[in-house]
Amino acid sequence: MKTLIVRGGRPLRGCVSVPGDKSISHRAALLGAVAEGVTRITGFLRGEDCLATLEALRALGVAVDDNGHEVVIHGIDEEGLSTPRGPLCVGNSGTLLRLLAGLVAGYPVEATLDGDASIRRRPMDRIAIPLRSMGARVSGAGDRCLPPVTVRGGDLRPISYTSPVASAQVKSCVLFAGLRCHGVTSVTEPRPSRDHTERMLEGFGAVVERNGLTVSVLGPGKLQGRAVRVPGDISSAAFYLVAGMVVSGSSITVQAVGVNPTRTGFLDILAEMGAPIRQGPIAQEDAESVADLQSEESALRGVRIGGDLVPRAIDELPVAALAACFADGPTRIQDAVELRVKESDRIASTARLLASFGARVEVEDDGLVVYPGRLGPAMVDSGGDHRIAMTGVIAGLAVSGESRIRDAACIATSFPGFVEGLCSLGADVEEADD
């Protein structure tokens, strides 16, 4: 188990980059696998979650090469996926489990998807229900279909599914399965969720229609392998941006970050808090917008975060709650019950983390209320949640004294190089083994 020793009170300055977007990396590899020809991916996130995607594809009979510069996926096209010899390990990735279940469901194979202890606590009934309606056989533990989840696919029928939650993972699972149906498969959400899947499906040649909150795909979809460039992950950039705001005397520029409008809710939150992020010129890469983002020490105000903003910032809410500790009034995060079923119960784990540093936090069913106050150094445990661990590191940098973040190896799940990037900006962070 790894502990990070964080010595705060030093300003952070300079330019830094972040690894490729995790959501886009997953999708590029999965769609490349079922396309015709070769897909070449640059900027692929080599974090544990996305490396698990490559291993799962290999187990399904897909040829995958990785030379460290680019990932090359040799699509199976009409050959189809193969039944794996054993369970497919998704590690800590709920995204991979849900998207891969949709992909596998379209082929006459049987696969069991399993992961770590955290994954085994995450209910999968939200994908089991629509996949069963399409004709796939999906089984898991209990009424909530807890992993390991077994999917027996093939011979699916299209459906028009109304999702009870705004979830890009649920939407993507159904659309992936719809690629193998004869007819139109559609998903309607109560609020907009991130749209990387729709953009990438179109890029690979699928026929996609968007109508308000409904997205449809026409099957069977004939996909064509292509080159994909993955932009920097805004969910990773969020930690550096908050560091620039709350660490005294800091100014940080994060280069080449994806600023897809369905992912920039966090930037909108910061603007409402009185700390608009300076954004460089926007470039277009593979239907995704990319820009440099700069933050600096800022005077913040408390705000209310809820409604349509939440799905656009769901992964950044823990570090947004940290920023709220430095505001001049309380911040209420609501409509965020989805945080309860992430790698940890992120409503509870965020509250525990901030309270350890001395913050006053009230937990509610669908969110929390954060009150401003003076923070001090702390010793905290991430509980194996990478975003909680990184939020703890940023909190430690913003206070004077030495903090310790236990169980920090999980950061590699989504952000290899996180500590090195901070140190390049002037942070004093070192690793120690417990």
What tens digit of pLDDT does each residue of 316-359 get? Answer: 999 999 999 999 999 999 999 999 988 899 999 999 999 999 99
First to last CA, the chain: 6
DSSP code at position 230: P
Residue 137: φ, ψ to 5°:
-100, 120
Domain spans, the chain? 2-19+231-433, 22-229
Q: What is d(CA 306, CA 303) in angstroms, rounded to the nearest whole number? A: 10
In 216-256, which residue ranges form alpha helices assigned H by DSSP? Answer: 234-246
Is the domain covering 2-19+231-433 a CATH 3.65.10.10 domain? Answer: yes
At residue 356, φ and ψ (nearest 5 deg) are: -60, -35
The residues of the chain scoring below 70 in pLDDT are: 1, 434
Q: Closest by alpha carbon to 30, among 68, 84, 71, 86? A: 71
- Residue 270's pLDDT is 96
How far, in Å, CA of 314 to CA of 320, rounded? 10
pLDDT, residue 12, reads: 98
pLDDT value for 1: 66
Q: Show the DSSP H helices in 6-87 as ranges.
A: 22-33, 48-59
Q: Bridge partners of 73? A: 39, 64
Q: What is the reported pLDDT for 434?
A: 66
Nearest to 74 by CA among 64, 60, 82, 66: 64
The residues, any chain, with a CB within 8 Å of residue 212's CB and separated by 6 or more, are none
Q: Considering only the C-alpha atoms of the chain, give the largest distance between any 2 of them, rounded to a whole number of Å.
A: 62
Joined together, the tokens standing for residue 91 give 């590690």
Asked if 315 is an active-site residue, the reply is yes
Q: Which CATH code of 3.30.420.40, 1.10.3720.10, 3.60.20.10, 3.65.10.10 fits the domain covering 22-229?
A: 3.65.10.10
Q: Are strands 70-74 and 38-42 parallel, antiparallel or unpaired?
A: antiparallel
Q: Are 242 and 323 in contact (CB under 8 A)?
A: yes
Q: Which of 315, 381, 385, 407 is catalytic?
A: 315
Tell me if the bond preceding 220 is cis, omega within 30° of 0: yes
